Structure 1
Amino acid sequence: MRVLVTGASGFVGSHAVAALVAAGHEPLLLVRDPEKTRKVLADVGVDGAVPMHEADIRDAESVRNALERCEAVIHAAAEIGVVSHAGDLAGTNVAGLKNVLGQAAALGLDPIVHISTVAVFVPPAGPLITVESPLSAPRNAYGRTKVSGERYARRLQERGEPVTVVYPGGVAGPYQPSLDALMEGLRAGLEQGWPITAGGVCVLDVRDLAIVLARCLEPGRGPRRFMLGGHYLTWAELADACDEATGGRCRRFRVPAAVLRGAAAVLDAVKRIRPIDYPLTRDAAEMMVTMERTFDAPTLEALGTSLRPVRETIADSLRWLAEEGHLAPGKAGVPAGKVAR
């Protein structure tokens, strides 16, 4: 199947391309920077022969030209703005999304796979997050744009369009082009310590997510939603998993949720004046202290797959961080050598 992939130079998109090639699909990549994309894909084992369409997803006409050449689409392009200040959140996460999903529906592509985020349900209404959970009302710009995009995708589904929405949790694993979100958090946790507070984190291996995305490419299935938060760990359990992977002992400090929120707000204000190398923001703190488990079993059953052990994901993530110089080898505590793709 000829599949348009947006965001192929990013973490999820590049791994998705590798999974598509392995599954025998023919990806066409909509990218802004072909040279950067080639370098990123080489890291995940994809050579430069994959065809590319140079365009910006905010340019509706260019997006349509690419969609017309394909049978299906995986929309992975997004601005991530939880632990850092992102660029054009609304332009990418709302206008760009509409250009891709809306025009794909008009052209009859099937399926139209949209990578959303479990964050659209956070803070959650109950102790278990499912695809039927109510959407949240985020206070931050990132969350608002993601929920806006989510509502648009659901309107297409209500019309019967073959839109498949996947909700990943915190994505980790090797070969992240630019550190952000959970990978940046792992680096900071090893170097500066883990705040032990309320809530927890859903850890999802990027390679497992890529396999799921490839398996979503089933035409004729209509609208679908797949929860894929991954393994839920409390912050103490995540620190323990890092200890197990490194053979050391991470620093820990207990922080009540209210104190963490307050400290994060202060950090936000200070970061506007001078840079501070710690990935805590008010938005990230809110996610940290309110996250709950996700109900992934229906997704794994429907797509005939499973998740690798969370400690394998964490160990591979830390090894790669050390390989790339993001983390001192002594902090990683794992043997050198290339991480498996």
Structure 2
Amino acid sequence: MRVLVTGASGFIGSHAVAALREAGHECLLLVRNPEKAKKVFKVPGVLYEADIRDAEAVRDALEQCDAVLHAAADMGLTGHDVDLHGANVRGLKNVLAQAVDLGLDPVVHVSTVAVFVPPTEPVITVDSPLAKPRNAYGMSKLYGERYARDLEGVTIVYPGGVVGPGQPTLDALNEGFRAGLRQGWPIVPGGVSVLDVRDLAVALARCFTPGKGARRYLLGGHFLTWEQVAAVCEDVTGRRVRRFRVPGALFRSLGSALDVLKRVVPFDYPLTRDAADFMLTLVPTDDVPTLRDLGIALRPVEKTIEDTVRWLIAEGHLTL
């Protein structure tokens, strides 16, 4: 089938395109910057230049396809200046609602475990109650989540912290790993779900069987405490990783202080108050139903982190 991929030149989107092609699908790549896409893909394929906030352009692209993977989104946890409402709300509506209206099948939306955070249970399941986030990113994703659930026939995938090689623009958890290996890991309550982008891409590609109707797949990945993250980093690098233990309340305050300081003196460190809240409250996810239904197995977290570190070094993002 011919699949429209939004966010095709992004981290998740670019890996998903490779997995979709390997599964035999043709991809139409909806991108804002064709030159970036040509750098990301050795063989770019068919490019469609558009902004997902432009409803007419999105509809024209959808009319050329059988199915859609909506992977475009903006991240706000690490403090970058992004248009969260434009991408995560208006853009989402333009893609999903029009895809359903045109009868595309399947319609697959990449959400996030953030819609369940802060959690109310010790393990997040696909049926866990939606959270009540205080940060702008969480609220934008929660609005999009509710909208997607109200549409008929939309498949929603909830990835955890996505890492791995080949990120076109360093961001999110890859950026966090660079900071942890450079400056040291904060040892705080909570933890992180580590999901290899290549495993996520395979999972997304396996959603493209028509006639299945609406489905929801939770795929958080391997849950690690922050002490375990530091220990795995030591194992894969063979070097001692610095740690600094911080009480949860102080860690939140530090995130808030850095938010203020970055407005005056911009600097490269991904901790924000929003990121601190996420780091302190995340719990494991129950991925078993997803792994079983899609017939996939996650690669070992040590391999994922090793490949991520090697890539960070090879691309000049990190020096050990």
Q: What TM-score, normalized to structure 1?
A: 0.93
Which whole-Å CA distance do the structure 1 matches of 2:316 and 2:272 have between them? Answer: 24
Alignment match, 1:121 = 116
Which whole-Å CA distance do the structure 2 matches of 1:283 and 1:67 have between them? Answer: 34
Residue 84 of structure 1 deviates from its aligned partner by 2.2
Unaligned runs of 5+ in 1: 332-341
Selected match of 1:131 from 126, 129, 143: 126
Unaligned runs of 5+ in 2: none
Residue 179 of structure 1 deviates from its aligned partner by 1.2
After superposition, residues 3-42 of structure 1 pair within 5 angstroms as 3-42=3-42
Deviations 1:165-212 (A, max 9, x none): 000000000011111111011000001000000000000000000000
Which whole-Å CA distance do the structure 2 matches of 1:89 and 1:264 have between them? Answer: 20
Selected match of 2:61 from 52, 63, 66: 66
SS at the partner of 1:293? coil
Deviations 1:109-145 (A, max 9, x none): 0110000000010000111001111111111111110
Deviations 1:38-87 (A, max 9, x none): 11123xxxx13x11111110000000000001110000000011012232
Q: Are 1:256 and 2:239 matched, yes or no?
A: no
Counting aligned pairs with the same residue, the percent is 66
Selected match of 2:236 from 211, 236, 245: 245
Query: Residue 79 of structure 1 contacts residue 86 of structure 1 at CA under 8 Å; is this kept in 2?
Result: no
Alignment match, 1:181 = 172
Letter of the 1:169 counterpart: G
SS at the partner of 1:195? strand
Residue 276 of structure 1 deviates from its aligned partner by 2.2
SS at the partner of 1:325? coil
After superposition, residues 98-177 of structure 1 pair within 5 angstroms as 98-156=93-151, 161-177=152-168
Alignment match, 1:91 = 86
Query: Residue 79 of structure 2 contacts residue 259 of structure 2 at CA under 8 Å; is this kept in 1?
Result: no
Query: Residue 185 of structure 2 contacts residue 241 of structure 2 at CA under 8 Å; is this kept in 1?
Result: yes
Selected match of 2:226 from 215, 218, 235: 235
Query: Residue 80 of structure 1 contacts residue 86 of structure 1 at CA under 8 Å; is this kept in 2?
Result: no
Alignment match, 2:268 = 277
Which whole-Å CA distance do the structure 1 matches of 2:270 and 2:49 have between them? Answer: 32
Deviations 1:203-252 (A, max 9, x none): 00000000000000011111100000000000000000000000011000
Structure 1 residue runs of 4 or more that deviate by more than 3 Å after TM superposition = none
Deviations 1:294-334 (A, max 9, x none): 00000000000110000000000000000011000xx2xxx
Letter of the 2:99 counterpart: A
After superposition, residues 209-224 of structure 1 pair within 5 angstroms as 209-224=200-215
Which whole-Å CA distance do the structure 1 matches of 2:270 and 2:94 have between them? Answer: 31
Letter of the 2:236 counterpart: A
Give the CA RMSD over aligned residues: 0.7
Residue 162 of structure 1 deviates from its aligned partner by 1.8
Letter of the 2:194 counterpart: V
Which whole-Å CA distance do the structure 2 matches of 1:38 and 1:125 have between them? Answer: 43
Which whole-Å CA distance do the structure 2 matches of 1:7 and 1:84 have between them? Answer: 20
Which whole-Å CA distance do the structure 2 matches of 1:276 and 1:55 have between them? Answer: 31
Q: Are 1:304 and 2:295 matched, yes or no?
A: yes
SS at the partner of 1:294? coil
- Number of residue pairs aligned between Structure 1 and Structure 2: 320
Query: Residue 110 of structure 2 contacts residue 156 of structure 2 at CA under 8 Å; is this kept in 1?
Result: yes
Which whole-Å CA distance do the structure 2 matches of 1:233 and 1:128 have between them? Answer: 13
Which whole-Å CA distance do the structure 2 matches of 1:196 and 1:181 have between them? Answer: 18
Which whole-Å CA distance do the structure 2 matches of 1:194 and 1:282 have between them? Answer: 16
Stretch of structure 1 that moved more, 30-39 or 223-232: 30-39
Query: Residue 184 of structure 1 contacts residue 279 of structure 1 at CA under 8 Å; is this kept in 2?
Result: yes
Query: Residue 164 of structure 2 contacts residue 305 of structure 2 at CA under 8 Å; is this kept in 1?
Result: yes
Stretch of structure 1 that moved more, 95-104 or 130-139: 130-139
Selected match of 1:198 from 186, 189, 194: 189
Which whole-Å CA distance do the structure 1 matches of 2:76 and 2:133 have between them? Answer: 13
